[in-house]
Every structure is written in structure tokens, then in C-alpha cells.
Structure 1
Amino acid sequence: MAKPGLLCLVIIVFCMLCCFININTEAAPQGSLVKSLPGFTGSFPSKHHAGYVTIDDEDNQTSKNLYYYFVVSEKNPSVDPVVLWLNGGPGCSSFDGFVYEHGPFNFDAAKQEGGLPTLQLNPHSWSKVSNMIYLDSPAGVGFSYSVDASIYETGDLQTAFDTHLFLLKWFEQFPEFVGNEFYIAGESYAGVYVPTLASDVDKGIKSGVKPVINFKGYMVGNGVCDRSFDGNALVPFAHGMGLISDNLYKSAEVTCKGNYNNYNSKDCELALSKIEKALHGLNIYDILEPCYHNPSASSQLPESFKQLGMSNNKSLSVRKRMFGRAWPYRAPVKDGLIPLWPQLMESVRVPCIDDRVATVWLNNKQVRKAIHADPDSGEWSLCTGNIRYYHNAGSMISYHKNLTASGYRVLIYSGDHDMCVPFTGTQAWTESLGYEIVDEWRPWTSNSQVAGYIQGYANDFTFLTIKGAGHTVPEYKPQESLDFYSRWLKGQTI
């Protein structure tokens, strides 16, 4: 039996250790803790933090206030990976991923409280297995802003530079997570955001920039990559999915000579116009999903939601929204100034989906106060028209080659029913890297069902499809997404 004096000493040491641990895990910025959210009742399954990291422009004359929402892992925060999530656009808020895909909550379409939609816990949140940072980037997007609107003219390289600065400052504010493995993830135009940022992070590590980020790899979902591969993906995708006839396909193949992206033949143009006509009316973000564009269907909505100005042909399937987070309208991405959604909507119809529930919730004063969104950031919109954005990084293939050569793990995944960035183009460019196949094409399973197909390459480079999923994979297949995500982070066989 321990002596009383020794027992007291053990207790004192234990208490001191507990205090140290508590201090070490509570190093977050003062006032960043999110204590509650309007529309949600109950306890959060883990701690949430939100706020701004301010970075100076390169000339140190202006500042950019980059907004983040940080969800601490529900499992083991001190050892689970930290994952930065980026939505695409360019110009779309990463709250899209938070509220519609793999964040800790889902909207409950059938209920509302005080004029607001209510929230329920998402059983397939990625915070089940990782610490998640949702970042609005670049400045001018979502809740991120600057007092000098002139800096809203930006592009791929500047965005990567700014996001790298954000990460360095964020880890200074949350030093308890510096030692955790760090990954970058995103979808759609984040097919550009992610590799360019990964490259800057890698260069920073190699040049000794502090703090040293424990960067291990990245993942991209239905992401744009290369103008040629992306641009030539749609026609074979449409044919393989039974959306166009053999005759239409053969006509385009012959007249365009397999080049559907950069052609100078009138016969090719005619063939492609016929294909476009055949595809008209489909939901380009998921060809299996209905196209929500019937204004007469508002009578089927709950009265409370009609008052919010909503109309759909269901009782508001709140996981369908207007912009779709995609690279605007359809790949490929051309070099130079990219037209954003507000400009595109002047000439194209709204493509099938609706984001108004999120817009109502995130522009509510009480919600914004709860998540520490600065009033100076202006009205939140899923995809902004405030910025002028230039695609100036070129093809991403060289980035992927350089990063895999540096030893980083890579997962490229595709929902196989997305017509915006079809898997056929992604499959083609991943194969073009020329890496040895180490895990030949095979099905992968979730809940004892075939969930898609996978092909593993040397250099820890993996291509994976998700059966029946659209452009935003976790939205359409949440359970399957959490499965492949958690397995990949752990380094397990998918």
C-alpha cells in the first residue's frame, strides 16, 4: 500500500500534468469557440472553432481576412489528421462542403424554427475520423473579405500563396495540431486549388519555413486538371452512359478526329451541337438526378419554406441547390480570366439545383454571430461574383508528377455520373502519368456492396470511382465517402 506522502505527491504530479494537457489542447484563439448554432438543439459531438486569419498582401499595404470553420475530430483529436477542405468555383464557399456534404450537420427539410431551417447531426461527417478546416478562399469568397476590393482580382498562383500563408498562421494559432498529419482535400475547381497549394506547402517545408507543416498528401474529387483531357471527356462519357446514339458518337469521332476541345471543322461543330441538344435538360452534376426547374411545384412545399421564397418539385430536398459548386457550367478550364456564375447566368439557364436553404441560414444575423462571421464580409452567397479570377497555373499534370515524386500520397476520386467533370477524362489523365499499376482495376465495397472501382499506381497514387455519385460525391454517397476517406487516411486498403 502506498504511503500517504507518496500518494499525495503522485496526485499533485497528476494534477499538474492534467493542467498542462488542458492548456496544450486549449491553445485556440480567444473567442473562436462556437458554442451553439441557431437551428440546432443538443450538444456538439466535438469542439468547433471559427474566425479569421488575417494575412498581408505581398506589398504589405492591404490585408486579407480569410474565414475558416474548424471542426475538431470526434474520435481522437490529438492524433487524427488535420484536413483542409476547399470547394471550387472558382469563387464558391467551402461552407458548401460543410452544410451539404461532409460537415457535422445536415439540414432537416421537414422542420423549421423561428423562420430558419433546422439542423441535425450528420452520421457520415468526415469529422468522425479527422480534424476538418473549411476555408473560404480566396478573399472575396463566402465570409472572407478585404477592406480593399482591388485585391479581389486574383488567380491560381496568388490563391495558393495566400492559402499557404493562412495555413502557417493557422497552425501558429492552433499549435497543438502542428504535429498531426496534414492533408489537403477539395473538389471541382479545387482540382487546381489543391495541387498548387500542395506545391507551395512542399516548397515551404523544403526551405525551412516555420512552423513545419506535417504534410502527407492530398485528395481531389471530380476535379479539373488539364484542358485537353477534361475537354475530350464528355463525348465518350455521354456515349458510354447511353445518352447519345452510336451514330452521333461515330459522327463526332470521325469529324472531330477525337479532339472535341480544340476543333476547327464545321462538320465537327455540327456533330457536337447535335450531342449538346441530346443532352439538354439533364442535370449536369448528376445525370441520375431530376432537374429542379419547375416553378409551378411550389404548392408541394411546406408553407414556412414558401415564405422564404423557395420553390421545387419536392418538399424541398435541401441537398439540391442552384450552383452546384462546379467549375462554371462545364470543363475544360481555359487559361486567362474565368467567367464566374453571375456572369454565366446572363447567358445560360440555372442548371437544375438550388442552394437557397443554405443562403437563408448563413445570412441570418444570429447564425453569423454564432459562427463569428464579420458583418463587413457582406452577404454570403454560395458562389460569388465579387472576384476577378485568372487561371494562370496551366495543366495540373506536372504538379501531380512533381508532388508524387516528392513522396506525397494522392487520391483522385470521381463520382461516375457527373457530366460536369466526367470520370472519363480523370481516368485518362491519371493513366497518362505512366506509373506502374500495382493494384489492377477492381471493385471496392462499402456495407458489403460494390461502391465503385479502384486502380492503384506506383508512387502511392490512386484513382477511385464512386458508383452512382455525382459531382459532389459526399452529397450523393455519404456513407461510401466516409468509408473510402477514412480507409485512405489510415493507409488501409480500400
Structure 2
Amino acid sequence: MAKAYNFTPNLIKIQLILIIVLFLCFTVSKSAPQNSLVTQLPGFSGTFPSKHYSGYVTIDESHRKKLYYYFVESERNPSQDPVVLWLNGGPGCSSLDGFVYEHGPFNFEAAKTKEGLPKLHLNSYSWSKVSNIIYLDSPSGVGYSYSHNTTDYDTGDIKTASDTHTFLLKWFEVYKEFATNPFFIAGESYAGIYVPTLASEIVKGLDTGVKPVINLKGYLVGNGVTDDKFDGNALIPFAHGMGLISDELYQEIVAQCAGNYYDVTSDGCDLLLSKVNQNDEVATAWLNDKAVRKALHADDENVAGPWELCTGRIAYNHDAGSMIKYHKNLTARGYRALIYSGDHDMCVPYTGSEAWTKSVGYKVVDEWRPWMCNDQVAGFTQGYEKNLTFLTIKGSGHTVPEYKPREALYFYSRFLSGQSV
């Protein structure tokens, strides 16, 4: 009788080895770096509502040029929810401004003593309720970001867009599990330049086959700098209409400046404009505390420098010109755009943003109308073809999520999901 062989134990061993190998491969490719995990923050005693990560991405090895990020996973469904990159403006202002004062996972209560640290409470209107969000200090020299070669602090629009694109490519190589999530860029103020220039840089990369592929879907710009003439010439009529300057001063300015409040050629006009132009301790104290910097994986102050809300150590060149051509190109390619403005902002008045969105020349598909939040009129909106939307927020100043957090989360959620307000 032929000898019988029992292969079962060997097969079981092989299967177990395969399972272990597959598990290890899955773990390596699908796990955010554990050494970047933020486990506690001074001033907060509760449980984080989602995972937080922070640290540096080196975008130039020869210069040891590093960009700092703080990444908050979505509190809802991080594996499916969009990934949003948030950028504050300036140029030269840290995006941790948005984290501390606007739509981050915490609200900050000022310390009761000068030496104390603020207390942190969970923010009911955090944008991490519906999205993963990366707060990025950009360009290098801003916030916690720095370079060992200070020539990198002489930069501009084009270089900043290129560097931020490099950051994203490297970031998605590390956080591979988020590479297929829908990706959006959002920002406010001078990020009205950062956002469309970065989006255009990403699109160029997609066109030329750059890896990893970034799943760009659209972008949001809040009270954004866009075009010098539209933005600059909106200021005086807006200030007059809001009752911020007298009718007499307004009439004098109109007569002296002939409707040109941006490219001033008259000394008399310049003198009158100067009459029109006649916070931050919480963030500065907290983000410069040694224990906080350690918890946030930020390099020591003697290496990276002190954290400042808006720095003066960079020399910045606005070399990209008007953003209108960028918006036209991006929306023509099918990327969704929401241009939103607080209607009480004198820094970048909503009237300028309303005017330039009209100037693009797209057909109106959603006539000017009020939009509602919590059964109240929250502002007005107008929708154009090619998924370009303009929206105002009633009673809000320059930083919309700070002034109107509930309304901001509402329109943000609707936009990310592809719905109108």
C-alpha cells in the first residue's frame, strides 16, 4: 500500500505566514506615522475626538528646509471624508491661526494669570466634524516652518505654490491611506493667492503624471485677495456704504481720486485715503510654551525661531499677478470653487469679490438669493456655471469661521458634499 502524506500542517503554516506578511504589508502601507501622533496638549484634559498628527516635512534636503503641519483626522469617517489643506494668508501668517481662532478642534479660553496657559475646550463647530484637515505653516519662515538656509526666506507666489505642492506629494507618500480621498484646498485673506496658484501647480503635476496622484476636487477662498484693482477699488465705496466714513469725506475722496483708490497718482487723494486707514496673545503664549512645542512636535525655539502669528522674517514678492485667470482655468477644467466673504470685512471687502466673480463672464445659474442656517438668513449667494459660487456671510468680519462658526461649518459641509446652501 502506498504511503499517505499529510500536507495539512505545512499548509496551515504557509497560510499563517501569508496572513502575517499581508498584515505587515497592510500595516506599513496603511498607517500614519506613530511618532507623529499627538497624544496630549497642555491645557486640555479630555479625550481627543479623533486622531491628531503633527511634525515636519523636509522639502529641500540640501537646505534642510522644513514645513510644519498639524493634521486632524475627521471625527466622522476619516477613511472616506475629504482631506482639506488649510492656509492662512499674510503673506507671513501661520495657519495655526485657523487652528486656534477659527475652525480647529478646540476653543481656547484665555489664562487667568499672565504666566498661565489657556484652557482648551472641544469646538462644536470644528471643520474636523466633516473632514480631515491639514493646517500648514507656509512658506518656510512662517510659524514653526523654517530653513537652515535663510535665503529661502526670500520668496514669492510662484515659489510658495511649488514648495507647497512638494510638501503635499511628500505628505501623501507618508499618509498613503488618504491618497484616494477627495482633496480640497481652503484659505483666507492672502491665501486668495496661495489657493488658486497651488491648485494650478497640482493640476500641472496631474497633467504630467507626477506621483502620487492628488485627488483634487475643488477649493474654497474666504475674503481672499484676488485682483489688485478689484480689491483695492472696492474699499472706499464699501467703507462709505457701511457708514464707516462720513459722507463729506467720501465726496472729497471721489473728487480727488476720480474713482481710483488703488493706483493712487494724486497727493491729495493719498492724503485723504490715509484718514480712512486711521489679538493674538492667546496663540502666541500657548504656541511658544516649551511643553506645547514638544507636544506639537515643533522644533525648539533656538532652532526654528519663536512662533509668531504673522512674521516679519520673510521677504515676499507678489509675482503671480491677478488670480482671475487662474480661477477661469481651474473652473474650466471642472474644479469646484466657492468664493465666500464676510459682509463686514473692510480688509478685503465682499464687494470686490462679488465684482470679480461677475467679471469672469460665466452664465448665472442660481440667481442672487438669501441662504439659510438655523432658520435664519445667513447671507446671500449667487451661483455661476462651471461650479463657481459666490457667497456672503451676514455680519461677519475678515475671518468668517471666527465670527460665524455655525454658519461657516454649514456652508463648508454643503460645499464638500457637492450641495448648494
Structure 1 length normalisation: TM-score? 0.78
What is the alpha-carbon distance in structure 2 between the residues aligned to residue 21 and residue 245 of structure 1? 69
- Contact 1:111–1:118 at 8 Å: present in 2 too? no
CA distance in 1, matches of 2:273, 2:113: 46
Change over 3 Å in CA distance of 1:112–1:70 after alignment to 2: farther
> Relative to structure 2, which stretch is displaced further, 26-35 or 385-394?
26-35
How far off is 1:240 after superposition? 1.3
Select the residue among 347, 354, 357 that pairs with 2:282: 357
What is the deviation of 1:263?
3.3
- Aligned partners of 1:253, 1:356: CA distance in 2, in Å? 39
What are the Cα deviations for residues 344-403 of structure 1, in whole angstroms up to 9, with x where unaligned? xxxxxxxxxxx1111111111111111100112121111111111111111111111111
Q: Cα RMSD over matched residues?
A: 2.2
Classify the secondary structure of the residue corresponding to 1:232.
Answer: helix
Which of 421, 438, 443 is residue 370 of structure 2 equivalent to?
443
Q: Any residues of structure 2 matched to 1:200-215 within 5 Å, and which?
A: 200-215=201-216
Partner of 1:490: 417
Cα shift readout 1:52-111 (whole Å, capped 9, x = no counterpart): 11111xxx6323111000000000001100000001111111110001100000112365
1:222 corresponding residue in structure 2: 223
Residue 251 of structure 1 deviates from its aligned partner by: 3.5
1:235 aligned partner: 236
Shift of 1:264: 2.5
SS of corresponding position for 1:169: helix
Instruction: Report the AA paired with residue 174 of structure 2.
Output: Q
Check the 8 A contact 1:39/1:113 in 2, yes or no.
no
Structure 2 counterpart of 1:380, from 286, 302, 307: 307
CA contact (8 A) 2:91 2:190 kept: yes
Partner of 1:411: 338
Structure 2 residue runs of 5 or longer lacking an equivalent are 1-15
8 Å contact 2:111–2:117 — kept in the other structure?
no
- For residues 110 and 446 of structure 1, the distance between their equivalents in structure 2, rounded to whole angstroms, comes to 33
Whole-Å separation in 2 of the counterparts to 1:25 and 1:35: 22
Distance 2:227 2:410 in 1: 28
Mapped contact 2:225–2:231 kept (Cα < 8 A): yes
Task: Give the 5 Å matches for 1:61-460.
Answer: 61-109=62-110, 115-269=116-270, 271-273=272-274, 276=276, 280=278, 321=279, 355-375=280-300, 376-460=303-387
Gap change, CA 1:133 and 1:53, over 3 Å in 2: same
Shift, 1:114, TM fit: 8.0
Q: Deviations over 1:20-42 (max 9, x none)?
A: 89737852124000001010001
Partner Cα separation in structure 1 for residue 341 and residue 156 of structure 2: 25
Matched, 1:470 2:397: yes
Q: Tell me by how many angstroms 1:412 deviates.
A: 0.5
Larger Rg: 2
Code of the aligned partner of 2:84:
V
Query: For the residues of structure 1 that align with 2:318 and 2:347, how far apart are their CA atoms?
Result: 18
Query: Do 1:93 and 1:383's aligned partners in 2 also have CA atoms closer than 8 Å?
Result: yes
Structure 1 gap ranges (5+): 1-11, 281-320, 322-354
- Name the amino acid aligned to 2:36: S
Asked whether the 8 Å contact 1:39–1:112 carries over to 2, the reply is no
Q: For the residues of structure 1 that align with 2:226 and 2:25, how far apart are their CA atoms?
A: 43
Find the residue that maps to 1:260 and give its secondary structure: coil
Structure 1 CA distance, aligned partners of 2:406 and 2:356?
A: 27
Q: Of 55, 60, 75, which residue of structure 1 is paired with 2:59?
A: 55
Moved segments of 4+, more than 6 Å: 15-18
1:30–1:113 distance in 2 versus 1, CA, 3 Å: farther
